[in-house]
A = this chain, B = another copy of it.
Amino acid sequence: MAKHVTVIGAGLVGSLLSIYLSRRGYRVSIYERRPDMRKASISAGRSINLALSDRGIKALEEVGIMDDIRPIAIPMHGRFMHHIDGTHSYQPYGKEGQFINSVSRGELNRKLMDLAEKHGVDIHFNHRCDHVNWNKYEISFTDTEQQRSVTSNQDLIFGSDGAFSAARLSHQLQHDRFQYQQYYIDFGYKELTIPPGPGNSFLMEKNALHIWPRGNYMLIALPNTDGSFTCTLFFPFEGDPSFASLDTPEKARQFFNETFADASAMMPDLEKEFVQNATSSLVTVKCFPWIRGDRFALIGDAAHAIVPFFGQGMNCGFEDCSVLNALMEKHADNWSDILPEYQTLRKPDGDAIADLALNNFVEMRDKVADPTFLLQKKIEASFSMKHPDKWIPAYAQVTFSPHIRYSEALRNGSRQEKIMQKIMAMPDIANRWQDEQVEKMILQELQQQPS
């Protein structure tokens, strides 16, 4: 065997994929546009802190490296909500023992690069992908340090270079009938920091994802191993308030004091960070095909960039690797069978998680303060507690149920939503939601609605 594989992009998915491929005996070279983040002091890319959940964990376990990652993952058992009146509330994510994990993108990426190199993977940093010649499957890179051109001609090429993938662009521009869509929401995000307290202590509950929900926008904070929290402000680009309206550090501080008072008190560098840190946009990318014959495939964000409101971007990319691995096994490394099935299997799931994530954005933006919506969620949760075999909430299907495909979770969720619309239309539901009749009606509907 010993096929040569080129992976474009040494991000989270590219690094993990290279480990999977090395384990199966492939000789893997990664080409990465940026310098080595383990040496240079650079940002780990535009990203919020990440929530590693069951799909991602399953993919890390399968390739035998979850034990290496666990030390840098901080369990978060629920949402810790900071209300505008200064009160708090707490919602567990799932049942006892179900949690998601805060990981720093930078730390995780460095770890995965270390592990990849340990597995014999060559990582070429400072190599920008310029172009792929699809007749020869020859990739042209610019070595930006040495200012010279490099070409690589391999048996198999993966484009794991993220939402703005150069590999995808080259694929797109030279492929007839390439379906492509990039869609930006009108919200952006900015990263801010709550530094550690004395002796690297956490200034808030460590094992939770902190949220300051404010209707049209929100601040979140995830714990880091050094005692700090990485905060992300999701905020409209335009309007009032918006990134456009908070156009001085003083206005930002005043807004934070009024809107996120407890967080503001823990952010000594807010003014500096608000000005210096980028305001980043949030894109959804859908495309097709993801592959070319038996020699090229897109994977991770390059194939299906999504908005972060379900915390699934990385988990979905890791699951791509796990699915691909199962297909290598199934088809005994015959890539003319593996790649078409990879695409057939994963494209509907990539589309589904993209839609689920956008739906969650709309939900968070428009519905989170709507009493009817909150009542509906309460009824669903109560029914699910009584009948865990009949009703897994959509969030839990996506986050804690890696055996349910994203596309199934989307379908199940629509079915549940239809049933709940009927329930919510029952007279006086606000007062009668705990009646036995409601439970019976849900059970009845579940039997009638096709699953």
Q: Which A residues fall within an 8 A CB radius of B?
A: 169, 173, 176-184, 237, 281, 283
Question: How near does chain B come to A258, taking the closest CB pair, in angstroms?
Answer: 28
The contact of A183 among B169, B179, B281, B283, by CB within 8 Å, is: B179
A contact patch SS: strand
In the complex, which residues of chain B have a beta carbon less than 8 angstroms from the beta carbon of A180? 180-182
Not counting A169-B173, A178-B184, A181-B181, a sample of 12 additional A-B residue pairs whose C-beta atoms are within 8 angstroms of each other reads: A176-B281, A177-B237, A177-B281, A177-B283, A178-B182, A179-B183, A179-B184, A180-B180, A180-B181, A180-B182, A181-B182, A181-B183
Residue among A173, A177, A178, A180 facing the most chain B CB atoms (10 A cut-off): A177
Docked pose: A426 CA to B336 CA in angstroms:
54
Question: How near does chain B come to A354, taking the closest CB pair, in angstroms?
Answer: 14
Taking a contact as CB atoms under 8 Å apart, the answer to whether B184 and A177 are in contact is yes
Docked pose: A182 CA to B177 CA in angstroms:
9
Docked pose: A176 CA to B243 CA in angstroms:
15
Pull 16 A–B residue pairs with CB atoms less than 8 Å apart, ordered by A: A169-B173, A176-B281, A177-B184, A177-B237, A177-B281, A177-B283, A178-B182, A178-B184, A179-B182, A179-B183, A179-B184, A180-B180, A180-B182, A181-B181, A181-B182, A181-B183
Docked pose: A178 CA to B173 CA in angstroms:
17
Docked pose: A184 CA to B184 CA in angstroms:
21
In the complex, which residues of chain B have a beta carbon less than 8 angstroms from the beta carbon of A182? 178-181
Docked pose: A180 CA to B180 CA in angstroms:
8
Docked pose: A20 CA to B169 CA in angstroms:
36
Docked pose: A179 CA to B177 CA in angstroms:
19
Docked pose: A176 CA to B178 CA in angstroms:
22
Kindly list the 9 A-B residue pairs having the minimum CB-CB distance in the complex, ordered from nearest: A177-B184, A181-B181, A177-B281, A180-B182, A176-B281, A179-B184, A179-B183, A179-B182, A180-B181
Question: How near does chain B come to A56, taking the closest CB pair, in angstroms?
Answer: 28
Nearest-CB residue, chain B, relative to A279: B176
In the complex, which residues of chain B have a beta carbon less than 8 angstroms from the beta carbon of A169? 173
In the complex, which residues of chain B have a beta carbon less than 8 angstroms from the beta carbon of A283? 177
In the complex, which residues of chain B have a beta carbon less than 8 angstroms from the beta carbon of A176? 281
Docked pose: A283 CA to B237 CA in angstroms:
31
